[in-house]
Amino acid sequence: MNELLLPVIFVVLALVVIGSVATLLVRGRRTPPGLYSSPRDPDDLEAGVAHGATSTDVLDRPDGVPTTELVPDDLSGLDEAPALPQFDTVDPVQGRLARLRARLVRSNNALGKGLLALLSRDRIDEDVWDEVEETLLLADLGTEPTMELVDALRERVKVAGSRNPAEVKDMLREELVKLVDPSMDRSLATLRHADRPAIVMVVGVNGVGKTTTVGKLARVLVADDKDVILGAADTFRAAAAEQLATWGARVGVPTVKSDVDGADPASVAFEAVKAGIEQEVDVVLIDTAGRLQNKVGLMDELGKVKRVVEKQGTVDEVLLVLDATTGQNGLTQARVFAEVVNITGIVLTKLDGTAKGGIVVAIQRSLGVPVKLIGLGEGADDLAPFDAEGFVDALLA
């Protein structure tokens, strides 16, 4: 009996072993040949998600050379086309203008309403004109423009002899429009040249939202159907390049940057323009450093960036970013930068403060260059081209 049982036991054991091996082989086929996933790192996982996958795994190729590829967790969809990157929907320029004007009406109309209330009184004496003057000065209009406006209004009200609010409002509007000066060319020089893109440098001190403004300006240009490349030439402020790259990625705009802290900003700017020429884009936007601790150092740095960039093409636009809430400090900053580079336009941010609309006039008078863009909030699309008459109408609404 024992002699008969032994062969049966051996057969059963052999079947069990064969079945186990077969099961392991079937399970092993779930991973394609040659793919050996390395242990996952949380940072790799995050990087993979940013590119539409779930992890970044290291693969060993047959030739022994390691490479890096994106490997999804679920291999069942390998035959499917990869998902396209999702970009932000950028607001059109015209819709953005209407929204910003509405916000200006809500936040800045204290200036216009205060003036209208004063000028609509039954009796306008010297005390009233003193209050008008004070209101304008508090709105950062500046001393010279304030005196011009008050003198012009005094004369017109005296000649007209009218206290009709509508007529007074029309007079005030006309005089304010003159000061804001709609005749100034506020167009952005962003038209592509025959052989190269338009080159725009953006300058300003750190803390005014300069890098954020460059990102928002990229969105304005994308909304205008332009191809853009960003140059992260602010290499001294920590994370400035990554911040700019994030803004660009949201709308599908590439960023040229250095991975080395403190890299030469002129070199980064040069490479950005070079990439723009090679890729035949419409506009290259260059963000620059804004340290004011050493005026001579700032001059040398910005001057070098501009000289190096212009080895490939003339800089078409130099935009100075100013914080509207800084008042006279902003004017001082503006004069320093005007000595360094030939400023062609102003970007005025944070204009949603209380009754500070007069800063537009003061800055234009100080520098002799127009305000071209204004920002009225923290939203991604809260930046729009400046319109003189629309701005005054919003103040007086």
Summarised one tens digit per residue, pLDDT across range 48-80 is 333 333 222 333 333 333 333 333 344 344 445
Indicate if 237 and 379 belong to the same structural domain.
Answer: yes
Looking at the structure, do residues 221 and 331 belong to the same domain, yes or no? yes
Amino acid at 190: T
Q: Which residue segment(s) compose the domain that 158 sits in?
A: 94-180
Rg, the chain, Cα only: 32
**Could you read off the pLDDT of 253-265 as tens digits, one per residue?**
999 999 887 889 9
CA–CA distances in Å: residue 333 to residues 104, 204, 337, 353, 358: 25, 8, 6, 19, 17
What is the tens place of the pLDDT at every residue in 217-257? 999 999 899 999 999 999 888 788 999 999 999 989 999 99
In a domain, 23, yes or no: no
**What CATH number should be reported for the domain holding residue 147?**
1.20.120.140
CATH number, domain containing residue 326: 3.40.50.300
From 382, 390, 388, 389, select the one nearest 220 (Cα to Cα).
382
> Greater confidence, 223 or 105?
223
pLDDT tens-digit series, residues 113-160? 788 888 878 788 888 899 989 988 888 888 999 999 999 998 988 887
- The reply to whether 309 and 342 lie within a common domain is yes
Same domain? 243 vs 369 = yes
Domain identity same for 102 and 244: no
Give the end of a domain, one of 149, 180, 211.
180
Same domain, 140 and 273: no
Instruction: Determine, yes or no, domain membership for 221.
Output: yes
pTM: 0.74
Residues near 191 by beta carbon (within 8 Å), at least 6 away in sequence: 198, 282
**Residues 392, 132, 334, CA angle at the centre, nearest 5°?**
55
Contact residues for 351 (Cβ-Cβ < 8 A; gap 6+): 104, 108, 324, 357, 359, 374, 375, 376
Cα separation, 161 vs 157, whole angstroms: 6
Give the pLDDT band (50/70/90) at residue 109: low
Instruction: Give the span between the Cα atoms of 386 and 390, in whole angstroms.
Output: 8
Domain boundary among 128, 147, 180: 180
**CA-CA distance, 57 to 66, in Å (whole number)?**
11
> What is the count of structural domains for the chain?
2
Alpha carbons 111 and 118: distance in angstroms, whole number? 11
Of 180, 214, 237, which one is at a domain's C-terminal end? Answer: 180
Tokens 């009218």 sit on residue: 162
Q: For residue 74, what is the DSSP state?
A: -
pLDDT higher for 297 or 302?
Answer: 302
How high is the pLDDT of residue 294? 57
